[in-house]
């Protein structure tokens, strides 16, 4: 089933992130991806910009990265699919600070030449709009 | 085409937001929606919680709300669809503060009994993870 294939793709992608394997990570994305990423800008397009974002992310970590997708929910039909999960990232930054963060992750897929590729992703933490703060200390509770 | 129907649904939804028409807004969502919303928690599920979130949002504004979706991109196949846009919200809060914000908006739809309903949404601003800040002052540039 398409959902199973996509689940395996997500697992391979998280494994590539943990290995800081840039080519492995990039094989997940369509060339024309439109991304709403965790850090600014609001939006960027294209695999080159996605590659740059991952290069910067990997460079920011001094040692290993833990990255896991929890409660991964996938819907697929024909050549379209979408998925969402809560992703736990943990690692020591170059500054010494330990990043230990839960991200909301949404990915929209299109099957292109037989391969499920992410054409749109959205990664975030909630915001405290009144105080202009990013809510970086939240943990999952039952959905 | 399904994309046209969904575009009309999104336009009706933004119109309902501007009118603070809670029932109109709620007619956009599936009962089992899983939401990654702009404000905490990380995730919530169910139309009752979505209704509460909109009630609180509407109550926070002292006067009219402007809400518009820019660069709305829609993909649909069979009974599945996904959409993303940059949404501009503007209004005066009860505190007197003017909220003037660009949000990233992703919605995943399923056609249920002939009606396109949002089964998952994700709304956010980017984060400055190093300083724990929400990036609330960004404006769109070319994608």
- DSSP alpha helix (H) spans, A1-143: 2-18, 22-26, 47-60
pLDDT tens track for A69-86:
999 999 999 999 999 999
Question: Would the pLDDT of B30 be above 80?
Answer: yes
Contact A78 B76 (CB under 8 A): no
Instruction: Flag whether residue A126 sits within 8 Å of chain B, measured between CB atoms.
Output: yes
B20 confidence band (pLDDT: 50, 70, 90): very high
Can you tell me the mean pLDDT for B55-70?
94
Q: What is the band of A116 on the pLDDT scale with cuts at 50, 70, 90?
A: very high
Distance CA A38, CA A40 (A): 7
Digit-coded pLDDT (tens) for B106-126: 999 999 999 999 999 999 999
Over residues A83-100, mean pLDDT? 92
Å between A138 CA and nearest CA of chain B: 7
pTM: 0.97
**Measured between beta carbons, which residues in chain B are less than 8 angstroms from residue A126?**
36-42, 124
Number of Cβ pairs closer than 8 Å across A and B?
A: 169
Asked if A107 and A76 touch (Cβ cutoff 8 Å), the reply is no
Q: Averaged over A90-108, what is the pLDDT?
A: 92
| Average pLDDT score over residue span A10-19 | 98
In a mutational test of the B interface, the residue from A34, A46, A106 whose CB has the highest number of chain B CBs within 10 Å is A106
Please name the residue of chain B whose CA is at the shortest distance from the CA of residue A44.
B143
**Residue in chain A nearest B44 by alpha carbon:** A143
- CB-CB under 8 Å, A129 with B132: no
Q: Looking at the predicted structure, is the pLDDT value of residue A43 above 60?
A: yes
Closest residue in B to A120 (Cα–Cα): B84
CB pair distance less than 8 Å for A73 and B34: yes
Mean pLDDT score of chain A: 95
Residue B142 has pLDDT above 80, yes or no: no
Inter-residue contact A57 to B130 (CB < 8 Å):
no
Q: Which of A53-57, A90-94, B103-107 has the lowest mean pLDDT?
A: A90-94
pLDDT tier for residue B44 given thresholds of 50, 70 and 90: very high
**CA-based nearest residue to A132, from B130, B97, B123, B133:** B133
A14 pLDDT tier (thresholds 50, 70, 90): very high
Encoded tokens for B40:
């905490």
What's the pLDDT score for residue A108? 98
Question: Domains, chain A, ranges and CATH?
Answer: 2-134 (3.10.450.50)
Q: Determine the residue among B35, B57, B82, B133 to mutate to test chain A binding: the one whose Cβ has the most chain A Cβ atoms within 10 Å.
A: B82
Q: Which of B44, B124, B131, B135 to mutate to test the interface with A (most CBs of A within 10 A)?
A: B124
B65 neighbors B20 (Cβ within 8 angstroms): yes
Say if the Cβ atoms of B127 and A38 lie within 8 Å: yes
Three-class SS of residue B129? coil
């Amino acid at each position: 089933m398409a959902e199973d294939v996509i689940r395996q793709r997500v697992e391979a992608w998280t494994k590539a992130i943990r290995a800081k394997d840039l080519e492995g990570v990039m094989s997940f994305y369509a060339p024309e991806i439109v991304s709403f990423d965790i850090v600014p800008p609001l939006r960027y397009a294209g695999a080159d910009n996605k590659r740059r974002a991952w290069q910067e992310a990997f460079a920011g970590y001094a040692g290993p990265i833990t990255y896991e997708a929890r409660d991964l929910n996938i819907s697929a039909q024909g050549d379209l699919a979408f998925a969402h999960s809560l992703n736990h990232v943990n690692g020591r930054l170059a500054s010494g600070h330990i990043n230990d963060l839960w991200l909301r992750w949404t990915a929209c897929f299109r099957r292109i030449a037989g391969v499920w590729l992410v054409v749109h992703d959205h990664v975030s933490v909630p915001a405290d709009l009144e105080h202009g703060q990013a809510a970086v200390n939240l943990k999952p509770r039952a959905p």
